[in-house]
């Protein structure tokens, strides 16, 4: 049976009917959500009761704020609305969740709910059982990357001068979100553009008195080991859930940035290099410089890649463009659940941790960072860092602890992941969920990372409850009936937390 995988193509909303929000409301909402910690109150989406029953009033802290805080950062993390906000009673909450967290068809669910401020366990069903997490694995990768690389780190794509006159070396430094055109400073995808890189290269060559023909070489030697994880299904690779990994690519290894499903380039680095060569030829023609057709692989003056950034000691840098920050890339991979981007970020995390930029290095680096964070990894078995394989095994408690570290832990670097959690009914892979039925009361309130494989569903995130208490949670279902209504089960369960007084 073909698996339904966890990539952006399977988890993103795709052409389904959506509830339309007033433009002003949505604008204010998204502005409010841009404040990751200074404003802990998520506004609720309004709407009449679909059952004909009168709905309870929305608590003030779940309504649209009248003023917006400035984004100044809050190293202390998200905190309860006040110290007086009551913690849900375990027995009452457990009874409510046991009513909703029931598999539709085969399979079982494990789950954990914790008070974010104190870590108190409020709901425990198989908290320490090893479960396949699907794309919830990306939460671990995001946390590890923010710790090892730092939120403000950028990756450089460089053009180096070769020892052979008239030869330039396009050198990958980990940016797989390159755009074909000019750099777009306000974008994440396409922040660094190959047209801009080509124009800068032409200027540098002119200054060196070179008129052509210029030969382009490609150095993509930053990553080591197999480009494809042997644990991945070749069917998933063919479907475009991921692709062979390289340290440079266009559009997260997509042919078209507007299409996030379907087959990907199988040699994303060469595809990017050929695009650069074409841009170099176009820019060179305007300056009277010619470019030889074709691109070959060769390190040239790049030599042995050093310092994990694609540059070789002593090599002359002719031109350079830099990626969006790691924080922005983490937001993108969480919002869209992009397997390719997650795996590349994992390999860059490995380099920053002093490990090989291979699959094994990425896995080891993520585990090391979690251990250094104080999150127990005894039950963790990782075969990749994107969650695309059934070989990953994670407990719901571990996932909840990672979410708690992001919202309320002692490492302020992790706060950068807050904006990446999809928002129920509004953004990312939750954009087409929470729109109808009992789950609608969680719309705009529940913020969680999704996970989807053929028989696996997961949802881990955070929510401010009706009493103003911040809760973190993780719910994982394994052995589920494919095609059954288990996403609705997860959504109803998380919405219970949003509406919980539970006392």
Residues with a known catalytic role: 135, 138, 337
* C-beta separation of 57 from 17 below 8 A: no
Q: What are phi and psi of 91, to 5 degrees?
A: -65, -40
DSSP element (H, E) containing 96: helix 90-100
d(CA 62, CA 79): 15
Tell me the angle at which helices 339-352 and 359-373 cross, rounded to the nearest 10 degrees: 70
Q: In what order do the strands lie in the sheet with 317-322?
A: 291-297, 214-219, 167-171, 156-161, 317-322
Which token pair is 91?
């027995």
- Residue 361 three-state SS: helix
How many Cα atoms sit within 13 Å of 447 on the Cβ side?
28
How many Cα atoms sit within 13 Å of 372 on the Cβ side?
15
* C-beta separation of 268 from 250 below 8 A: yes
* C-beta separation of 397 from 112 below 8 A: yes
* C-beta separation of 148 from 352 below 8 A: yes
Apex 7 CA angle, 349 and 40, nearest 5: 70
* C-beta separation of 197 from 175 below 8 A: no
Classify strands 121-125 and 167-171 as parallel, antiparallel or unpaired.
Answer: unpaired
d(CA 479, CA 464): 30
Nearest to 397 by CA among 150, 147, 199, 123: 123
- Residue 165 three-state SS: coil
């Amino acid at each position: 049976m073909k698996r339904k995988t966890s990539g952006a193509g399977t988890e993103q909303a795709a052409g389904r009917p959506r509830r339309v929000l007033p433009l002003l409301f949505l604008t204010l909402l998204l502005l409010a959500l841009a404040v990751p910690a200074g404003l802990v109150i998520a506004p609720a989406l309004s709407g009449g009761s679909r059952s004909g029953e009168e709905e309870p009033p929305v608590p003030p802290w779940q309504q649209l704020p009248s003023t917006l805080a400035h984004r100044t950062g809050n190293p202390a993390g998200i905190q309860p609305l006040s110290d007086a906000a009551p913690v849900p009673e375990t027995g009452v909450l457990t009874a409510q969740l046991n009513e909703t967290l029931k598999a539709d068809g085969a399979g079982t669910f494990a789950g954990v709910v914790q008070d974010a401020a104190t870590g108190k366990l409020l709901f425990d069903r198989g908290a320490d059982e090893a479960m396949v997490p699907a794309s919830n694995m990306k939460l671990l990768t995001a946390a590890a990357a923010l710790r090892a690389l730092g939120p403000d780190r950028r990756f450089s794509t460089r053009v180096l001068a070769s020892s052979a006159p008239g030869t330039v070396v396009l050198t990958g430094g980990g940016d797989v979100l390159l755009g074909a055109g000019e750099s777009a400073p306000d974008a994440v995808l396409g922040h660094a553009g190959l047209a801009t890189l080509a124009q800068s290269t032409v200027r540098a060559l002119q200054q060196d008195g070179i008129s052509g023909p210029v030969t382009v070489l490609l150095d993509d030697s930053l990553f080591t080991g197999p480009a494809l994880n042997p644990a991945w299904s070749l069917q998933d690779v063919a479907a475009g859930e991921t692709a062979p990994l390289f340290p440079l690519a266009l559009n997260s290894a997509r042919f078209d940035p507007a299409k996030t499903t379907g087959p990907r380039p199988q040699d994303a680095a060469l595809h990017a290099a050929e695009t650069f060569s074409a841009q170099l030829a176009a820019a060179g023609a305007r300056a009277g410089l010619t470019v030889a057709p074709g691109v070959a692989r060769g390190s040239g003056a790049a030599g042995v890649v050093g310092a994990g950034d694609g540059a070789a000691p002593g090599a002359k840098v002719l031109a350079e463009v830099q990626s969006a920050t790691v924080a922005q890339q983490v937001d993108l991979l969480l919002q869209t659940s992009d397997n390719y981007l997650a795996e590349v970020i994992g390999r860059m995390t490995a380099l920053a941790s002093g490990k090989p930029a291979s699959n094994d290095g990425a896995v080891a680096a993520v585990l090391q960072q979690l251990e250094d964070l104080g999150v127990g990894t005894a039950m963790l078995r990782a075969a990749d860092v994107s969650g695309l394989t059934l070989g990953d095994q994670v407990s719901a408690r571990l996932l909840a602890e990672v979410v708690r570290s992001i919202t309320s832990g002692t490492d302020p670097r992790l706060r950068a992941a807050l904006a990446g959690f999809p928002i129920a009914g509004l953004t990312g892979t939750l954009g087409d969920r929470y729109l109808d039925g009992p789950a609608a009361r969680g719309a705009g309130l529940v913020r969680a990372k999704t996970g989807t494989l053929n028989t696996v569903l997961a949802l881990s995130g955070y929510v401010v409850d009706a009493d103003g208490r911040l809760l973190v949670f993780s719910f994982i279902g394994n052995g589920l009936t494919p095609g059954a209504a288990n996403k609705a089960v997860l959504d109803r369960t998380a919405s219970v937390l949003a509406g919980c007084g539970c006392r």
